[in-house]
Structure 1
């Protein structure tokens, strides 16, 4: 699998972490979302092919409720990735963070904003950028990743549920 595709999919982990900052009151929104999540999704390519991925994640919230440490392991029939990320709400509605994919030694940064249950974020790593849209409702998260450079991926869509 090309490294660029792997980096795109690896960025999905960052978006799951950012989804936990979906409410104006981050403290009350984060605490119920801490724990284990399971889900699946699809990666769509420029050549028209797509592939299913299965994911499991673990989320730990800081005592202050404004930071999240996340670990996400995802696998398909042809590859797997293991991502660790740190996301912070430094001021109300403003997100920043970093991520790293351990099996491919890839890293990057994120920035975004919260608007109700929705997050709009931009991510960047070496040779890759993407726009992210996240909606969190109760025990469900849906994430859409739209790469804007550096990959053959046109869309990543993943749904997770809290265990």
Structure 2
């Protein structure tokens, strides 16, 4: 699966022709039931989850015509039952990169520690770092125990 295929889906409604064609060409995706206006499509085999929700976030009521791809999750091997995502990762990032490698490739826009909020980039053992690129955000989420990158989340930057 090519990363460009995934990026072309950003902002597309879940039942659009483009999204339906993508799912037909990639039958490993399981489309979950919607919950509070959010809906996931999960492919453990490809190491990818897609999040569909309205532009203004999750909400109750009928939202099928509002649910667009807002985020994609790219998983490392074994995380949450996924195989490792094999496509290109923006900014030249790789799952084998250490946090130091990622920061050397690009300085994060924000560093976060769950329970403390935003922290300095040199904070030891943060929960994740986030970068901004080409109208998107990418965040690397780290294991508390090992510091390894568990997954990347790429999200549309909303105006």
TM-score (normalizing by structure 1)? 0.30
Q: Which has the higher strand share?
A: 1
Greater RCO (Cα-Cα under 8 Å, separation 6 or more): 1
- Larger radius of gyration between Structure 1 and Structure 2: 2
